[in-house]
Amino acid sequence: MLQARRLRPGRSRPSRRRIDLITMRKTGRQNLIRPMAAMLAVALLHAAPSRAQRLVKASPESAGMSSARLAAIDRAVTASIERKETPGAVVVVGRRGQVVYRKAFGDRAALPKREQMTLDTIFDLASLTKVISTATSVMILVERGQVSLADPVALYIPEFSRFGKERVTVEQLLTHRAGFVPDNEIADYVGVTIKPLEKIYELRPSYEPGTRFVYSDVGYIVAAELVRRVTGKRIDEFAAENIFNPLGMKDTSFRPLLAGNEESGAYRIAPTENREGRWMRGEVHDPRAYELGGVAGHAGLFSTADDVAVYCQMILNGGQYGGSRVLAPYTIERMIGAHSLPTSQMRGIGWDVNTSFSSNRGDLFPVGTFGHTGYTGTSIWLDPASQTFVVLMTNRVHPSDKGNVTRLRSFVASIVAGAITDLPQASIFDSLAAPLRQVEAPRAAISRGVPSGPLHPVLTGIDVLERDGFKQLEGRRVGLITNHTGRNRAGRSTVDVLASAKNFKLVALFSPEHGLRGIEDAHVGDTRDEKTGLPVHSLYERNRRRPTSEMLDGIDTLVFDIQDIGARFYTYITTCGYAMEEAARNKIRFVVLDRP
């Protein structure tokens, strides 16, 4: 491709003086960020080359960057590997149509045998699928007059209109404002008689659509189905014909082992976890995409760092690359234009602009630049003003899903921004006057101790457990009291999180009023969880509200994880109190996973 015990949220309370400052700045921040984002979009349109520029390899200095400063990437990635945050990585940096940094580090695989990372390694892109494949495909249909962002989704998928979703728009799907939870239950995808899309159509909005930003895989699963309804082609086929093939992204596909390309054999694919007795290699890591056959709108795409760099350059070129136009300049502007969200967060169409997920922006790229991350450890970030992109591919989920590259993403982005030695766009820098230096961009906290400040994301109790490697439950036999509200920051259910941990044993589940999934309106009976096979003991039977000694037999720790709004007609806090009393009687440890 290239030519040359009570686990409190990890957040400190701001002082009154701090709160006053935030209140005074709120309006000013919104007024400042919006014009800057608009200027960056305009910069892309004016800075894009007049021809469909291809990437070429060049020295950093020829692109207005410092090779000595870029060399700090080596130290940052090597240190991350030594900390076992990821077994390996590939980094590609481009500026002004030139690749100024391209390097592989560490290992592609640690188990079952060590394999060195190579530049042509194929990665499971995870949620980069959302922007590279799904959002881009929908916008192609918008350009063709086949879809409108303002249309109700139900216009294309009539079954979607059930249970209060009839007014959800296409744009709300793509900006994570459609009323969906982060993920519906995995049980909605598993089984030969299960129809996952039907289960999604039966979902009720968890909030009023359009009023909140809740990052959700569900909306993008629906968006891929919308593409199929309009075109008659699955998202993998449509994206290949209209995006990957025109751009020459030869190593980009869903289900790469079935893609028919001999060069994309399993040996080049970075493995993820060991599942069902085999290493996942060329099979999507995301469990819902896996149950959907490996093709979905939220995950499932595989690619190399070089191919992803081509996609990034296409965006910076205003929608064209190598003689092929994929999108129009105005379409690019619409995609990256920031939509103001609650709490001063900002998203584009598919793109992350300025939210708690923006750790890969680093500390130096300005608000209004954009990118995305993937759960498996992949990320991209683009700055149209400086014509710069950063591609970081890691396999941090290998071999045990315990790696974490959040800080590495931030470090690499800051190093790249700090290596730019000339002014990217004078007009934009002229706008960065004194008031804008006061803007505090809400993005993911890079943990160097206890996060502070009101805009840092909260770590709930389950997130603290995961961060600490479940050391608080080491060697314990655990019973979990939870329901559908027990989820970590990524939207994964607490049941799945604890069941997959290796250093303790989850032996039983306990369900409160309305049951484990929150859908029961009468008394709840005992049952068994389909996925884990664990017994589910009801704490809301007609004549039973407490765990009995028989239920607690073999359990030495009870964990409670339920979100409660504090309304007195809900019984969750009473369930917690009763369970604590019975735990004390039976000399069982009780752990509350706190939530704000």
Identify the pLDDT of residue 337.
Answer: 86
Instruction: Note the pLDDT tens digit of each residue in 487-507.
Output: 998 889 999 999 999 999 999
- Dihedral sign of CA atoms 300, 400, 562, 504 in order: positive
99/579 Cα distance (integer angstroms): 59
pLDDT greater than 60 at residue 1: no
CA dihedral 261, 313, 410, 30 (to 10 degrees): -130
Contact assessment for residue 253 and residue 236, using Cβ atoms and an 8 Å cutoff: yes
Residues contacting residue 232 through CB under 8 Å, at least 6 positions apart = none
Q: What pLDDT shows up at residue 493? A: 92
Rounded Cα gap, residues 39 and 313, in angstroms: 19
CA distances (Å), origin 522, targets 295, 418, 473, 512, 540? 38, 60, 33, 12, 9
**Residue 135 carries which DSSP code?**
I
CB 40 within 8 A of CB 428: yes
Closest by Cα among 540, 477, 531 to 511:
540
Question: Using CA atoms, how far apart are residues 469 and 501, in angstroms rounded to an integer?
Answer: 8
Name residue, tokens 């969880």: 529
> What per-residue confidence (pLDDT) applies to 16?
31
Residue 18 pLDDT > 70, yes or no? no
* Nearest Cα to Cα of residue 254 among 230, 224, 279, 276: 224
Give the per-residue pLDDT at 435: 37
Query: What fold, for 461-593?
Result: Rossmann fold (3.40.50)
- The secondary structure element, H or E, covering residue 310 is helix 305-316
pLDDT of 525-543, one tens digit each?
888 988 899 999 999 888 8
Rounded CA-CA distance 225/231 in Å is 10
Mean pLDDT of the chain: 85
- Widest distance between CA atoms in the chain: 77
Domain range list for the chain = 37-120+266-278+303-437, 131-247, 461-593
Q: Cα Rg for the chain, rounded, in angstroms?
A: 24
Instruction: Give pLDDT, residue 323.
Output: 93
The CATH number of 37-120+266-278+303-437 is which of 3.40.710.10, 3.40.30.10, 3.30.499.10, 3.30.70.20?
A: 3.40.710.10
Which segments of 271-349 are extended strands (E)? Answer: 274-275, 278-279, 301-303, 320-321, 324-325, 339-340, 346-347
Residues comprising the chain, all counted: 596
Q: What is the pLDDT of residue 41?
A: 47
Q: What percent of the chain has pLDDT over 90?
A: 69
Q: What is the pLDDT of residue 340?
A: 66
Task: Sort 562 into a burial class: Cβ within 10 Å, 0-12 / 13-18 / 19+.
Answer: buried
pLDDT of residue 344: 66
Q: Using CA atoms, how far apart are residues 129 and 224, in angstroms rounded to an integer?
A: 11
Report CA 241 to chain centroid distance, whole Å: 26
Q: Is 386 helix (H, G, I), strand (E, B) or coil?
A: coil
* DSSP assignment letter at 473: G
Comparing CA positions, the residue from 366, 289, 265 lying closest to residue 133 is 289
Mean pLDDT of 561-583: 86
pLDDT at 3 over 50: no
Helix, strand, or coil (residue 574): helix
More confident residue, 475 or 435: 475
Q: Which helix (H) or strand (E) holds 39?
A: helix 16-47
pLDDT of residue 409: 97
Residue 392 CB coordination number (10 Å): 29
Bridge-based pairing of strands 301-303 and 123-124 is antiparallel
Whether the CB-CB separation of 425 and 43 falls below 8 Å is answered with: yes
Bridge partners of 105? 89
- Number of neighbours of residue 244 by Cβ within 10 angstroms: 24
Q: How confident is the model at residue 459 (pLDDT cuts 50, 70, 90)?
A: confident
In CATH terms, the fold of domain 131-247 is: Beta-lactamase (3.40.710)
In whole angstroms, give the CA distance from residue 529 to residue 223: 30
Whether 37-120+266-278+303-437 and 131-247 share one fold: the answer is yes
Stretch 445-456: mean pLDDT, rounded? 37
Distance CA 475, CA 481 (A): 19
What 3 state SS string does 240-265 have? HHHHHHHHCCCCCEECHHHCCCHHHC
Tell me the two tokens of residue 372: 């995305």
H helix or E strand, kind and range, residue 557: strand 557-561
Question: What whole-number distance in Å separates Cα of residue 462 and Cα of residue 338?
Answer: 31
Q: Which of 495, 188, 497, 271 is nearest to 284 (CA)?
A: 271
Confidence of residue 121 (pLDDT cuts 50, 70, 90): very high
What is the C-alpha separation between 163 and 129, in angstroms, rounded? Answer: 28
Q: How does pLDDT run across 184-208, given as a tens digit for each residue?
A: 999 999 988 889 999 999 999 999 9
Where do runs of H (alpha helix) occur along 213-304?
217-231, 235-239, 245-247, 287-291
Report CA dihedral (310, 316, 317, 321) to the nearest 10 degrees: 10
What does the H/E/C string look like for 486-532?
CECCCCCEHHHHHHCCCCCEEEEEEECCCCCCCCCCCCCCCEECCCC
Do 107 and 87 meet the contact criterion of CB atoms below 8 Å apart? yes
The mean pLDDT value for 513-521 works out to 79
10 Å CB burial of residue 113 (0-12, 13-18, 19+) is: exposed
User: From residue 292, how far is each of 27, 158, 217, 228 by CA, in Å?
Assistant: 44, 21, 13, 14
Q: What is the pLDDT of residues 133-169, one digit of tens each?
A: 999 999 999 999 999 999 999 999 999 999 999 999 9
Phi and psi at 559, nearest 5°, equal -115, 130
Q: What is the predicted pLDDT for the residue at 453?
A: 37
